[in-house]
A = this chain, B = another copy of it.
Amino acid sequence: MQELQPLIQQLKEKGIKVTPQRQAILSSFLGTTNKHRSAEDIHLEIVKSFPTISLDTVYRNLGMLRDLGILRELNLGERRVHYELTSHSHHHHLICTRCGDAQEIQYCPLQFLEQDKVNKFKIQSHSFEIFGLCEKCTK
């Protein structure tokens, strides 16, 4: 399990202020089994223990943490963007189109992609999501 302190250290090193709001957002990623969540999910969770935090602040900080490389942005086929810790191992998802559940899959297509398919394109990141029906919803 990832620790909070090293993340806070990263903020300090970049001269970014460590506010209670930021600590709450970071903590919320460490405490969940739900690996990826939307800004609203995160806000709803934090509000329980920090009633005055605004959704705007959550959005602003998620963006900042993404730019710092601490969070990764996921596009799971919904209108909302989801976030997860980049320290969480690289993986992709099986997303159920009926119940919305997303299972992780330990397979990355990039390893099979030959250089000549990509030519002079300089890869920074990629997405690979599989949509369909999960075991429960098939029944």
Contacts and interface: CB of A to CB of B under 8 A. Distances in A.
A90 interface: no
Interface string A26-38: 0000000000000
A105 B120 contact: no
B129 A127 contact: yes
A119 interface: yes
Interface in A80-139: 94, 96-97, 103, 105-107, 109-110, 112-114, 117-135, 138
Contacts of A134: 120-121
Identical chains in the assembly: 2
A123 B117 contact: no
Contacts of A94: 118, 121
Contacts of A75: 75, 77, 127
Interface residues of A, number: 34
Nearest to A78: B75
B131 A105 contact: no
Nearest 4 pairs of A and B residues by beta carbon: A109-B109, A120-B135, A124-B132, A123-B132
Q: Name which of A109, A110, A131 has the most chain B CB atoms within 10 A of its CB.
A: A109
A131 B135 contact: no
A106 B117 CA distance: 7
Contact of A135 (B96, B119, B124): B119
A125 B117 CA distance: 22
